[in-house]
Amino acid sequence: MILCVGVAADPTFLAGLHAVRAAGLDHAAVDLASLALRGSVRVPLDDLAGATVDTGRRFIRAGEAAAVWCRLLDVSAHAPDAGSGRAAAGHYQAFLRLFEHLPVRVMNRPLREATGFTKVLHAVTLAAVGGWPVPRTCLTSDPDEARAFVAGCAAGAVFKGASAVKTFAQVYEACHEERLDRLARVPVLFQERIVGPDVRVHTVGDEAFGEAIHSPVLDYRTVAGVNDYRPITLPESVLGGCARLTAHTGVPLLGVDFKVDRATGEWYFLEANAMPCFEGYDRRAGGAITRAMARWLGSRGG
Closest-CA residue to 53 (of 75, 38, 67): 38
CATH 3.40.50 fits 2-107, yes or no: yes
Q: How many CA atoms lie within 13 A of 85 on its CB side?
A: 6
User: What confidence score (pLDDT) does residue 46 get?
Assistant: 87
- The CATH number, out of the four listed (1.10.3470, 3.30.70, 3.30.2010, 3.30.1490), of the domain defined by the range 136-192: 3.30.1490
Where in the chain do CATH 3.40.50 domains reside? 2-107
Instruction: Profile the chain (302 residues) by mean pLDDT over runs of 10 residues.
Output: 97 97 97 96 90 95 96 95 96 95 94 76 89 95 96 95 86 93 92 97 97 96 94 96 94 96 96 94 97 94 56
Distance between terminal CA atoms of the chain? 16
pTM for this prediction: 0.93
For CATH 3.30.1490, the residue range(s) in the chain are 136-192
In angstroms, rounded to a whole number, what is the distance separating the alpha carbons of residues 8 and 17? Answer: 10
**Which residues of the chain does CATH 3.30.470.20 include?**
195-274
Buried b or exposed e, range 263-295, using 16+ CB within 10 angstroms: eeeebbbbbbbbbbebbebbeebeebbbbbbbe
Residue type present at position 204: V
Residues forming a β-bridge with 5: 30, 70
Return the CATH fold of 195-274: D-amino Acid Aminotransferase; Chain A, domain 1 (3.30.470)
- Phi then psi for residue 7, to 5 deg, are -120, 125
DSSP secondary-structure letter at 287? T
Residue 1 near residue 27 (C-beta atoms within 8 A): yes
